[in-house]
Structure 1
Amino acid sequence: MKKDFLFTSESVTEGHPDKLCDQISDAIVDQFLRRDPFARVITECAVSTAIVFISARFESDAIVDFTKIARQVIKQVGYDQADFNAKTCSIMTSLKELPHSENRCWDEKKLSEAEIEQIPVKDQVTVFGFACNQTQALMPLPIWLAHQLARRLTTVREEKILAYLAPDGKTQVAVEYKDKKPHRIYSITLIASQSKLLGANLQRLQEDLRESVIDVVFADEELKPDANTRIFIDSDDPFAIGGPSVHSGLTGRKNAIDTYGEYSRHSGAALSGKDPTRIDRVGAYAARYAAKNVVAAGLANECEVQLTYSIGLSRPVSIQVETFGTGKIDDEEIAVILEKNFDFRLAGIIREFNLRYLPAIVKGGFYKKLAAYGHVGRLDIGVLPWEEIDKVPILQ
């Protein structure tokens, strides 16, 4: 296994077309669950020049205005230019209301252990959770920094520190590792779209982003850029607003950004646009929960948890642990400990994380907040249930 290497991860702002789709999809999930905690819904979205397409299948008593939600998200993200905005974009929907099933309204909090055991998953998937001790959030440093830069790009636009920026932006950070530990920042890349009316020239853009984004983000980081760090600040077109008028977007196309920046494996299934009964979403949260507690407990410096589910069964058919040679005990022993102390059953995960009721509890929606800047490793929106390290005493 390599000990000295270079690793790069990227992030995007909430105005990136793919992330815009994720946010619309999750805002719809939030609205369903806010009105009907037992709703089942799968929503996918696509955007392109002046058009939004929403496809949804749902089983619920709630009445949801898909078009209104999409326009609200577009406006909140900041698209108000003639090329693409909430008022004039066309919105097409393909909606299918599913027939009511007898067991839709099962409440995990009221079920016995035997009853929870009888609730199977309805999909087959392999999900991954990962944690490492490179950052305070127990996330890989490259994706952590890329997210911080992307979030700062949005902040300086919203607070009008750099009022000429448009919502669409991308970031990338390359970290040089020595002996498997972050050693130096090799390169930083920022791509920011601009308003056609207020756009700055390239020199001003580079100076502004260095001062208002890069310097601010790294001020609190232990590892900072050095004299040899390569910094690239550019725009495909200095006066292009970016977004759907330039490139299309689709729900679930940024899985690496949603998880670990490809430092660890991730499932091919989208996380956004799905209610909590979808194991390909909540299983990934449960796997992260397990991996993070393993690292927080000091059992390993890095830990990847793999869960494999099959249709018709309540428990994963396989629980695999990989600590990449950093484990204090055997990986097989850690897997046994996890199986004994973590509930990886679908209904158990929903109950443990209170996933049906969080959209009604969290102001502004819950799942929509996850749709940009990562579903894991978040410290900016309160402690997520799967980011808790409450199992550490048991694991130790």
Structure 2
Amino acid sequence: MNPQTYAAEFIFPGHPDKLSDAIADALVLEAYRREPRALVGIEVAVHRDHVYITGRIACPGAHDIDVQSIIRTVYKSAGYGKGWYPAPEQVKVISNLCLGPLEDGEAQFRELSDDQAICIGYANHLEPTNHLPVEQWLVARLAKRLHRLRMEYPELELGPDGKVLIAVSESVGASKSTWALSHFSCSLQQMTASNELSLHRSVRVNLEDELKKAAIELPGLTDTLPDQLTVNGAGAFEVGGPEGDNGLSGKKLVVDAYGPRVPIGGGAWSGKDFFKADRAGGMHARRLAKMIVQLGLSKEAQVVLGWFPGDRSARVLRATGAGGLNLDISQLVKHVDISLKKSGESFCDEKLVEVARWGHFSDATLPWERFGQL
């Protein structure tokens, strides 16, 4: 077995890009609650104590949406306030949103693609990882565990921003595959005067515990930590979030999806309703790839979908299996609804803000991850 090394990263809800994604999808969800065929196409940017929003929201009562309140709720739930800048009540919103009802006939035309898009979906046969690449599944899991430290160990004085970067060594054999965590680094926002030694100790203890649990769930994963763990390798990390860097929705497409092992398609997902071709196509491509491996057609699958303006359903441009072999899924597609109507009416979920924060394929119970009705 010739080992290959794969890297993956994840970021915390307090990261400026993830703040932007969560705000964008909180507004998508609010519009959907008012009208299942609401049109939402927005971009969000954050910097210091300012939030900038552009785009369009079309639904009944769009003018009544309390954008500022929604934004402040997102900041609060991400961990801002209580000493971490900016406090939610201090956030200033600069909006250039086009708010209003859907135009006459527009609700019906939502079933037709108003744009072009290339969308890629992926799945492997590993059910414990929810069919994601091991490194992407593991980095998200470790990030969630470390994110909990700020609540479980308040004496560490951790902030809402943070990043995790790992590398996993993978050896694929004819009958068995193995994985080992070979590199680990995290950047955790912390008050400058706090105890760095306690932080390092807490990170190590929690990583050891989480890696052991992950190894039990995924046979072949080694539960041994790398020799070196890097914590805040660039030095003190107190100034973070939108104070330390500007953020923009849609910038973390690789984190949102499968990690760098799998190519991404076109546009961003957060800030768009599920009638939008980019978002609809990404979820439909994932469904098809997941079906391929669950039906035993291949141990790995990558599906490329295309939308052309005016299409009702996505076009399957290519499907490949393990080793890059072409797959003929024409019969499968006959039994699967990959239309905008399907995604628009079925995929929006009350957990959408958490989806924006933790990845679109991190929860096997999400509508596009389940196959109760094809």
Check whether TM > 0.5: yes
Mean CA deviation greater in 301-310 or 33-42: 33-42
* Mapped contact 1:206–1:234 kept (Cα < 8 A): no
Which among 95, 109, 129 is matched to residue 121 of structure 2?
129
Change (3 A) 1:389 1:300: farther
Query: Could you give the per-residue CA deviations for residues 112-150 of structure 1, whole angstroms, max 9, x where no partner exists?
Result: xxxx9x942111000011011345111101111110111
Distance 2:188 2:20 in 1: 19
What TM-score does the superposition give when structure 1 sets the normalisation length? Answer: 0.84
Which among 149, 152, 156 is matched to residue 156 of structure 1?
149
Aligned: 1:174 with 2:156? no
The equivalent residue for 1:370 is 355
The DSSP-based 3-state class of the residue aligned with 1:215 is helix
Query: 1:337: Cα distance to partner?
Result: 2.6
The DSSP-based 3-state class of the residue aligned with 1:332 is coil
Query: Could you give the per-residue CA deviations for residues 51-79 of structure 1, whole angstroms, max 9, x where no partner exists?
Result: 11122312111221111111111011111
The equivalent residue for 1:111 is none
Distance 1:46 1:61 in 2: 25
Which among 332, 351, 368 is matched to residue 327 of structure 2?
332
Which among 281, 290, 308 is matched to residue 306 of structure 2?
308
Change (3 A) 1:256 1:3: farther
The equivalent residue for 1:355 is 347
Mean CA deviation greater in 73-82 or 232-241: 232-241
Give 2:363's aligned amino acid. R
Which among 171, 180, 185 is matched to residue 189 of structure 1?
185
The equivalent residue for 2:218 is none
The DSSP-based 3-state class of the residue aligned with 1:209 is helix
Change (3 A) 1:162 1:185: farther
Query: Could you give the per-residue CA deviations for residues 285-341 of structure 1, whole angstroms, max 9, x where no partner exists?
Result: 111111111112221111011101110122334431011328xxx7332x2133212
- How many residues are aligned here? 362
The DSSP-based 3-state class of the residue aligned with 1:266 is coil
Cα root mean square deviation, aligned: 2.4
* Mapped contact 2:273–2:344 kept (Cα < 8 A): no
The equivalent residue for 2:54 is 55
The equivalent residue for 1:110 is none
The DSSP-based 3-state class of the residue aligned with 1:37 is coil
- 4+ residue runs over 6 A deviation: none
Query: Could you give the per-residue CA deviations for residues 143-173 of structure 1, whole angstroms, max 9, x where no partner exists?
Result: 1111011111222213345641111011112
Change (3 A) 1:182 1:373: farther
Q: 5+ residue gaps in structure 1?
A: 107-115, 359-364
Distance 1:320 1:185 in 2: 33
* Mapped contact 2:11–2:163 kept (Cα < 8 A): yes
Change (3 A) 1:193 1:261: same
Distance 1:65 1:208 in 2: 40
Query: Could you give the per-residue CA deviations for residues 223-276 of structure 1, whole angstroms, max 9, x where no partner exists?
Result: 234365442222544251411111111000000000001211112311101112
Mean CA deviation greater in 180-189 or 340-349: 180-189
Distance 2:352 2:182 in 1: 34
